[in-house]
Homo-oligomer: A and B are copies of this chain.
């Protein structure tokens, strides 16, 4: 089954909005093994939308229109479907009444033009839109499927996943579901991960295994097709186990887990509190940690000692330590972690010092050093990070959180 996506909206042609809807739908189609040969964008013009529909019906088995089904005068997708298919426009009294109730419930009077949303080409089924008021459309014309869904991403995503994909899969005779699970790792290069998983890669096509490098993390995506989601998960489980054994402590989570949430959870389990002392990252480590709701159960606070003077006066770092090792050194990163734990009364502390660039400092730009103090040990590691100031700071922040996880879980490795 070949599916053509037509995005309707002059704002797309003008570049005011990027057509991310088409990419979202493209991924869903690919996951179900459905083909796509063309995607089209067309402005708010009945004749041109109709001509795009006609062209798509001539070369695809199904047409999915996004946008142009709202209440305003420039929402023309319904009219264009009628023009392209020769169907009459009908009016749904039932949906009109529903709309009226919806407005009444919010204590407002419905503007008259909202009734346009109750119009639909003859033979169309209305698709529920729990996130908005414009219903979608599903229509069968000469053996070809036509769908219209909202252009608002959240409404589109819900309707496509809930209503459009099942109908397309049924039409294509696709009876399997595809389930993916992403194993998230930090600390190894992509080539090292590939080496460790070499025997698993290609040994099986269902479940299958793929690598994704993303912002310093290597992710391993395990995908399986089966008759049900549960059956697919049964196929994935032993492969996931094998991957976890081979990658060991570099695995920090799966799917939507973030390193900051994983670290906070681990600390809460141990009953340990957390603090940070930052220099080149300027507060980014604390900002990431406090982005997690409920961080206050674990996080006490932090200091940003941006100047060397403040490292000495506020944290009490020994000036001679700085003089002999330099301010960008593992010794100073460790001393910062130890000092801030004492200062604010925390069990675990992260210290970060470094040269983010572009200004020249004592160590080359991209040299970022993380120290971690736990009740059990004090550790540090030097990271050498490529890229500009913002990238170096972001990667160092992520690295600091990962190194804290390894120290807290007792899985610290390397030098």
A residues sitting closer than 8 Å to B (CB atoms) are 12-20, 22-30, 36-43, 45, 48, 52, 55, 276, 278, 280-287, 289-291, 293-296, 299-307, 309-310, 313-314, 343-345, 357-359, 389-390, 393
Contact = CB atoms under 8 A, between A and B. Distances in A.
Nearest to A310: B301
A39 B40 contact: yes
Contacts of A19: 18-19, 22-23, 39
B303 A303 contact: yes
5 contacts: A37-B48, A282-B295, A287-B287, A293-B357, A295-B306
Per DSSP, chain A at the interface is mixed
Given A37-B45, A39-B41, A291-B389, A302 B301 contact: no
In the complex, the count of this chain's copies comes to 2
B282 A286 contact: yes
A14 B25 CA distance: 8
B343 A314 contact: yes
Contact of A303 (B22, B40, B299, B301): B301
A41 B26 CA distance: 11
Contacts of A18: 18-20, 23
A337 B115 CA distance: 55
B300 A290 contact: no
Contacts of A38: 13, 40-42, 48, 52
Contacts of A12: 22-23, 26, 39
